[in-house]
């Protein structure tokens, strides 16, 4: 490859400095991590440029530590925000200007992201042209967290092939491997570009440039926009070997991760591309932008607690919860965070938190339940506003159902059938990936037999016995699906969990229980009176009836995904106690909570209506309430079964 790039002198030229300063001056004034205001940068540079340029030239310049935090996106999930020093923003802009000038002409015409005079509309026009040519099948490959997974050592090798001036390479490396501070920890990352850096978009295009060249050399009808790769072909038969080939190239050679949920082979007229939809109108290919229905999310979250999009806070660090004016303030030695009272529907505490009397008065006025969990995740105590407690007619109706053995068994069967059905649905889901797995095949049959046995069972005790046997068999699924040897299921242990996998299961279950319990309180059902589970000395039982059949499709799917995608790790995300107990630590809990939030708001279609999992739980609770209050036709109460 011809080494014909800019040298350090050209990078640091007065012309390039002035251009970068003009660009910086158009930005809103802000304080950088170096304590320098953006409005003061020009004066600072005029006074200190000679010394800084000398450091860059002799290779001794060290960028200011980059401070990172996470923000809740309007679409759900989180994105990392990086706060650079304003001096580094200026120097990165100088780098970006030269990289764009020299690199962009090298990129191929079908690479559309992060380049002037290109963009989404140009990419959509190219896709439309492929459809007009008769290529009605699209191979879509979505790279999972692309910016965060680029191996920097390999990217560095690519830079060496372009730059003959070692000083330029070392200056770029100073920013690739700079120090980062996040949650009080300072580290250097060796995988992933820092999002928010001016040079990261250009370098992300550079890393995939060899892939673009390969696609072009093969004569494919392709286009790429950042981490989204599309190849258009005429038939599915033609698509399959191409998909496997490019997928293997990206994984094996470029060490990237494929987003399995979004990647595959699809009909181009049934697939949304970069937010646009294609359709035929009078045999003419047309396209239009898809209009999304958005959920409303809070704009901030904090490491000490994470707010779900469905308006719950999970406090997982020690601190004080107090009233501040007409809202709530959570604080400890390290953090302060305001909880906007108008968007909070429940607060769950998993740590040692001091709660002031004024806080309880405010929660009472705003009808917000507060739930305290012990170290096992079980509900230890709770504060429920009077307006959310069960009314007499509902309490009587639930009691009548519980005391009528015949009616109780009939309804309990509905819960149990949904539970076994959803366990079987999980088996069938993973059998699509492991078709020759005999253990999963046998498990599917055993669960089918269990469902048949449920239909003929005469007592609730026998139903619970069948459930216990089914669960014992079902947990085999973990060892057949997991791809990390450190996580292995031997037996279910709780209070306390004895290994990392059981710690994950226990924590995820408590989060699901909390979700269900809030919806039961909201409906004013009495959570003490269950159907399938006995109403005994435990504080609540009804939430177990609903949560159990959602566990396989929410909890188990999340855990298997987190482990198989290497998002949760041993031992760094767990605490190991002297008594043999194993718990998720704060960092692990945050990862799990984020994944569960995403799962709760995954959409699926039931009887031509789109629901999220959160809405499905709410739907089932309301169906049950309607059933006990008058509509006693058990056929109308059908707990959700995953299709």
Cβ–Cβ < 8 Å for 522, 384? no
Evaluate whether 113 touches 205 at the Cβ level (below 8 Å): yes
For 385, list phi and psi in degrees, rounded to 5.
-60, 145
Closest CA to 234 of 355, 113, 139, 165: 139
- What secondary structure letter does DSSP report for 194? P
CA pair distance 180, 87, nearest whole angstrom = 16
Distance CA 381, CA 372 (A): 5
Give 36-39's long-range contacts (Cβ < 8 A, gap of 24+). 36/85, 36/86, 36/87, 37/86, 38/86, 38/89
SS3 452: helix
Q: How many CB atoms lie within 10 A of CB 490?
A: 12
Taking alpha carbons only, the member of 285, 337, 344 closest to residue 310 is: 344
- Spell out the alpha helix ranges (H) of 432-541: 438-456, 460-474, 476-481, 500-523
Helix (H) or strand (E) holding 80: strand 78-83
Q: Which position has the token pair 């002037």?
A: 116
Residue tagged 């709780």 (tokens): 494
Query: Could you write out the three-class secondary structure of 571-594?
Result: CCCEEECCCCCEEECHHHHHHHHH
Task: Kindly state the tokens that stand for 409.
Answer: 């068994």
Beta strand extents in 532-632 (DSSP E only) = 574-576, 582-584, 603-606, 609-612
Q: Is residue 493 left, alpha or beta, with left meaning phi > 0 and alpha meaning psi from -120 to 50? A: beta
Are the C-beta atoms of residues 486 and 495 closer than 8 Å to each other? Answer: no
Do residues 560 and 482 touch, judged by C-beta distance below 8 A? yes
Contact criterion met (CB below 8 Å) for 615 and 522: no
Q: Write the CA distances from 71 to 122, 240, 287, 303, integer angstroms.
A: 30, 38, 33, 10
Give 537: exposed, middle or buried? Use CB within 10 Å, 0-12, 13-18, 19+: exposed
Residues in the chain: 643
The whole-angstrom distance between residue 88's C-alpha and the CA centroid of its chain comes to: 30
- Please tell me whether 548 is known to bind a ligand: yes
* CA–CA distance, 179 with 62 (Å, rounded to integer): 9
Tokens of 228: 């989204």
Task: Say how many CA atoms lie within 13 Å of 263 toward its Cβ.
Answer: 17
β pairing state of 312-315 and 346-349: parallel
- Which residues share a beta bridge with 372? 349, 381
Q: Is there a contact between 427 and 475 (Cβ–Cβ < 8 Å)?
A: no
Please state, in angstroms and as integers, the Cα–Cα distance from residue 432 to each residue in 382, 425, 428, 444, 559, following that order. 43, 11, 7, 12, 19
Provide the CB-side half-sphere exposure for 460 (13 A, CA). 20
Cis peptide before 479 (omega within 30 of 0): no
**Is 467 one of the annotated binding-site residues?**
yes
For the annotated binding site, the residues are 467, 533, 548
Annotated binding site for Mn(2+): 467, 533, 548
């Amino acid at each position: 490859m011809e080494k014909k790039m800019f040298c350090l002198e050209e990078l640091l030229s007065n012309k390039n400095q002035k251009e970068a300063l003009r660009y910086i001056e158009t930005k809103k004034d802000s304080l950088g991590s170096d304590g320098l205001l953006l409005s003061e940068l020009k004066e600072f540079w005029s006074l200190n440029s000679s010394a800084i340029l000398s450091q860059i030239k002799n290779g001794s310049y060290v960028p200011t530590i980059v401070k990172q935090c996470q923000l809740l996106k309007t679409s759900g999930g989180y994105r990392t925000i990086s706060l650079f020093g304003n001096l580094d923003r200026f120097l990165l802009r100088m780098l970006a200007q030269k990289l764009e000038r020299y690199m962009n002409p090298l990129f191929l015409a079908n690479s559309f992201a992060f380049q002037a005079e290109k963009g989404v509309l140009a990419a959509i026009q190219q896709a439309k042209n492929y459809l007009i040519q008769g290529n009605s099948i699209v191979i879509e490959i979505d790279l999972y967290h692309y910016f965060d997974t680029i191996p920097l050592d390999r990217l560095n090798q690519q830079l060496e092939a372009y730059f003959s001036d070692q000083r330029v390479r070392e200056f770029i490396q100073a920013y690739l491997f700079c120090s980062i501070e996040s949650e009080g920890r300072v580290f250097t990352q060796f995988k992933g570009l820092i999002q928010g850096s001016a040079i990261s978009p250009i370098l992300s295009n550079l890393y995939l440039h060899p892939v673009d060249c390969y696609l072009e050399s093969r004569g494919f009808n392709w286009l790429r926009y950042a981490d989204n790769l599309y190849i258009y072909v005429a038939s599915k038969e033609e698509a399959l070997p191409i998909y496997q080939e490019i997928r293997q190239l990206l994984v094996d050679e470029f060490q990237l991760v494929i987003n399995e949920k979004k990647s595959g082979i699809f009909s181009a007229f049934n697939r949304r591309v970069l937010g646009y939809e294609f359709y035929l109108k009078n045999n003419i290919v047309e396209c239009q932008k898809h209009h999304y229905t958005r959920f409303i999310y809070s704009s901030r979250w904090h490491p000490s607690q994470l707010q779900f999009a469905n308006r719950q806070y999970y406090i997982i660090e020690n601190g004080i919860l107090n009233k501040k004016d007409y809202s709530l303030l959570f604080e400890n030695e390290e953090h302060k965070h305001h909880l906007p009272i108008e968007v909070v529907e429940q607060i769950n505490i998993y740590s040692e938190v001091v709660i002031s009397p004024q806080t309880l008065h405010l929660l009472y006025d705003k009808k917000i339940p507060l739930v305290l969990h012990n170290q096992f995740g079980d509900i230890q105590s709770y504060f429920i506003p009077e307006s959310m407690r069960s009314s007499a007619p509902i309490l009587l109706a639930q009691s009548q159902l519980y005391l009528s053995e015949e009616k109780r068994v009939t309804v309990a069967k509905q819960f149990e059938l949904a539970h076994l059905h959803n366990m079987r649905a999980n088996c069938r889901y993973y059998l699509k990936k492991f078709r020759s797995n005999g253990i999963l095949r046998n498990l599917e049959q055993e669960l089918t037999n269990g469902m048949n046995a449920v239909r003929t069972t005469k007592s609730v005790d026998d139903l619970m016995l069948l459930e216990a046997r089914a669960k014992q068999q079902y947990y085999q699924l973990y060892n057949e699906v997991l791809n990390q040897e450190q996580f292995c299921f031997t037996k279910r242990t709780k209070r306390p969990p004895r290994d990392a996998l059981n710690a994950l299961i226990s924590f995820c279950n408590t989060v699901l229980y909390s979700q269900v319990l809030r919806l039961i309180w909201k409906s004013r059902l009495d959570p003490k009176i269950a159907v399938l589970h006995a109403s005994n000395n435990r504080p609540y039982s009804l939430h177990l009836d609903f949560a159990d059949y959602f566990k396989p499709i929410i909890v188990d799917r999340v855990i298997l995904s987190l482990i198989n995608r290497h998002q949760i790790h041993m031992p760094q995300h767990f605490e190991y106690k002297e008594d043999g107990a194993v718990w998720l630590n704060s960092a692990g809990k945050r990862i799990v909570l984020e994944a569960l939030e995403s799962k709760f708001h995954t959409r699926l279609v039931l009887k031509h209506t789109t629901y999220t999992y959160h809405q499905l739980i709410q739907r089932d609770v309301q169906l049950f309430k309607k059933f006990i209050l008058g509509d006693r036709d058990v056929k109308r109460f059908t707990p959700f079964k995953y299709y």
